[in-house]
Amino acid sequence: MTVLLFSSFTRTHFNKCYEGKSSKDILKRVAANALMSLLAVSRRAQKHALKANLIDNCMEQMKHINAQLNLDSLRPGKAALKKKEDGVIKELSIAMQLLRNCLYQNEECKEAALEAHLVPVLHSLWPWILMDDSLMQISLQLLCVYTAKFPNGCSSLCWSSCGQHPVQATHRGAVSNSLMLCILKLASQMPLENTTVQQMVFMLLSNLALSHDCKGVIQKSNFLQNFLSLALPKGGNKHLSNLTILWLKLLLNISFGEDGQQMILRLDGCLDLLTEMSKYKHKSSPLLPLLIFHNVCFSPANKPKILANEKVITVLAACLESENQNAQRIGAAALWALIYNYQKAKTALKSPSVKRRVDEAYSLAKKTFPNSEANPLNAYYLKCLENLVQLLNSS
């Protein structure tokens, strides 16, 4: 019933209540809030909104707002301009929130936004977005929703370019020739006190890191060098900072592809830093460095570099004695991947300390999980250990 009312509402009344109205109009705010709520919970509402050209209308409104802001910035009268800007910024915020909810987990709507040039429009608005933290947060939310499980959307951030910018843009930072570079610049310069925007920009980068095109831009920009400058906890503090966790989540997504793994291994000192980070704790994500090692071990091209780093081998072998079962599984799977089809690894891992840990872990696992078939994770752990034992005992 609600969606049927929405269909009629979008086609006949929304334009009257919303478009052409002042940002201070109460009916306009009520209409926008009602529509946002419906789009957030109903896929049928998103479908009707798409048919009603809501995406195209929002895009046209954003283009108009950008032109208006650029034109007004050339006129004298700072007090009047600021007052007018505030109203226009509110309209821009509403339009982006409507788009965000309309695109949420809806590939058809994302395709429509791609065709309507969402990224170039946002790129052209970027100098204004940089001026307002709340607007930045909403734009990053929109981009997170847009890029989630949508490779074409991720790629569009790499080749976007925008046209004219307001005269004062130089005071807010020059606009790069792609929105992807703008995002990387923001992540590099983000003040630590602005944790909300910092979290959002790294969430967006974690989405983009799954795209081959975006990984190429990340590599060429040398953005990952910033990871090496992260400080480890000092004194009695045994917990990694929230910024470090954001970085580790980004590196984990980068490590899902062989091209990303190569990017990580090219960072001098990265493996050593990850081994140090693996010694510290974090409640929400305690195993991120181990998962990165795990992924890197699967590529034949990476194995010589991993094997040459004794610290990584020591960390992976120590996982077999961990009280955390997930750490045990990650360590066993990584060691099996490293030794598989690689004779040099077999020779290196036959060291007494590693072989003893493997044998003891296998013996304990057989006693602890006699009916491992009932649990796929336990069965996989046993399989990893069994293959490790066989390979280490073979000539």
| Mean of pLDDT over the chain | 87
Look up residue 371 and give its amino acid. N
**pLDDT for residue 373 is more than 70:** yes
Q: Among the residues of 148-255, which ranges form H helices?
A: 151-159, 169-172, 179-189, 195-208, 212-221, 242-254
- pLDDT class for 24, splitting at 50, 70, 90? low
Look up residue 335 and give its amino acid. L
- Cβ neighbors of 253 (< 8 A, separation 6 or more) are 206, 207, 209, 210, 260
> Which pLDDT score is estimated for 358?
96
| Pairwise pLDDT comparison (61 vs 26), residue with the higher score | 61
- Cβ neighbors of 335 (< 8 A, separation 6 or more) are 297, 316, 317, 349, 354, 358, 384, 388
| Beta strand residue intervals within the chain, DSSP E | none
The arithmetic mean of pLDDT across residues 103-114, rounded, is: 98
**Residues 86-103 pLDDT 10s:** 788 889 999 999 999 999
Rounded Cα gap, residues 377 and 329, in angstroms: 8
What 3-state class would DSSP assign to 298? coil
Rounded Cα gap, residues 343 and 349, in angstroms: 10
| pTM confidence score | 0.89
> Which pLDDT score is estimated for 306?
96
Query: Cα 387 to the chain's mean position, in Å?
Result: 35
User: For residue 281, which phi and psi values (nearest 5 degrees)?
Assistant: -115, 155
What 3-state class would DSSP assign to 239? strand
